[in-house]
Copies of this chain bind each other. A is one copy, B any other.
Amino acid sequence: MAMVCLSDFEAYAKKYLPKIAWDFFAAGADDCCTRDENVLAYKRIHFRPRMLRDVSMMDIRTKLLGTEISFPVGIAPTGFHQLAWPDGEKSTARAAQAMNTCYIASTYSTCTLEEISAAAPGGLRWFQLYIHRNRAVSQQLVQRAEALGFQGLVLTADLPYTGKRRDDVRNGFRLPPHMKLKNLEGAFEVCKMSPSFHDCSEYGLPPNSIDPSVTWNDIYWLRSLTHLPIIIKGILTKEDAELAVRHGVQGIIVSNHGGRQLDGGPATIDALVEVVEAVQGSVEVYLDGGIRKGSDVLKALALGAKCVFIGRPALWGLAYKGEEGLQDVLRILQDEFRLSMALAG
C-alpha cells in the first residue's frame, strides 16, 4: 500500500485500528456536521495562482512566538495516543522533534509530561491545559510543564463539558485497563469508564472534574502561575478574539475541537478570517481543523494564520508506524505545502 497522501493514512487507520479507537478518534459531536465542514470548507476557497515568479528558492520556515520551526504545521493536542501506537505520546514527541516542529501535548496524555520531555528533549513543546474544579491539579500541571521546558501553555476554552459523540456513547468507550491518564494519576481517583454517557463524560476522569465556571478572568490566574506565553484554543468569533487580546494572551488557536464539541458552529477556516481581522496582528493566530493536504495549509496562511496544527492526521500517522508514520505524514504535508507555494506563485 503506497502512502501517497493523508487519505491513505486515514484508510490504513480505519482498517487496522481497533474499532473503538478508530471511532474515538474519528468521532464528531451529534451529526458530525462541523467535523465534516472543517474539511469541506477548504474546497470552497480558491487560490488566485500567479505565474512566472522565481520559485527556485523557497523558505517555508516560520516562527512560533519567536521559535523557529521547519514549516508551518504543528501537532494539535489530542488525547490517548497509546490507543494509536504502544509508545503513545513519546512517539509523537520524537516525530515532531525530528521534523523540527511544535508538539502540543495534551493533558489527557497516556504518557507523563516527564516521559514526553525525555523522549524529545530538544523539541519545541507546548502544554495543553484544561482547568479542573480542583485548581491545585491544574496549577501543579502548569508548573510541572514549565519546569520540564515546555515553552507555551495552551488553554482549551471550548470544553466546559464534553461534547456528545454518539459513537463513543454507543461503544461505551473507555480506555483499556493498561492505559492511564498518567498526568492526572493520583490527582483524582480515576473513574471506571461506564457505558453511559451521563456517568462519565470526561473519558476517564471523575464526572464533572473540569470546571465549567471558567471565565476570562481565569486567564489572570494562569498568568500568575507561570511565565510561559499563554495561547487560547477554541476561539471562533471576533468578539472572543478581542477579549483574548484584551486579557493578554500571546496566541489564539482558531479551533472547534475537531467538531467534537458543539455541532453547528463554523468551519475553522471560515472563522479564521474574522479572528485575524479582529486581532490586527497584535497576537499570533493559528488554525486547527480539517487540514488534509499541503494546499490547505497554504490557504490557511493566505488567510492570516501563522501556522496550522493537525489533529486526526497525526493520529493516523501514529497508527501507521508510530514515530516513523507521523514523520511520513508531516513530510508529505511539507512536500505538498512547498509545491503548492511554488505553483501558487
Binding site for B on A (CB under 8 A): 2, 4-5, 30-31, 33, 42-43, 45-56, 157-158, 160-161, 163-164, 166, 169-170, 195, 197-198, 211-216, 218-219, 232, 234-237, 239-240, 243, 256, 261-266, 293, 295, 299, 335-336, 339-340, 342-344
Contact = CB atoms under 8 A, between A and B. Distances in A.
Contact of A52 (B56, B170, B218, B261): B218
B157 A51 contact: yes
A22 B215 CA distance: 48
Given A4-B169, A49-B256, A262-B295, 19 more contacts: A4-B166, A4-B170, A31-B43, A33-B43, A46-B264, A46-B265, A47-B264, A47-B265, A48-B237, A51-B235, A51-B240, A52-B157, A56-B160, A56-B213, A158-B343, A163-B339, A262-B343, A262-B344, A263-B295
Given A48-B236, A214-B52, A240-B50, A299 B161 contact: no
A344 B55 CA distance: 44
A4 B172 CA distance: 11
A224 to B, nearest CB: 17
A19 to B, nearest CB: 15
A265 B48 contact: yes
A2 B173 CA distance: 13
Q: How many copies does the complex hold?
A: 4
Given A55-B213, A160-B55, A4 B239 contact: no
Contacts of A33: 43
B266 A46 contact: yes
A235 to B, nearest CB: 6
Contacts of A239: 48, 50
Nearest to A266: B46
A161 B215 CA distance: 50
Contact of A293 (B31, B216, B232, B293): B31
A53 B157 CA distance: 9
B216 A336 contact: no
Given A158-B343, A198-B335, A264 B299 contact: yes
A211 B48 CA distance: 22
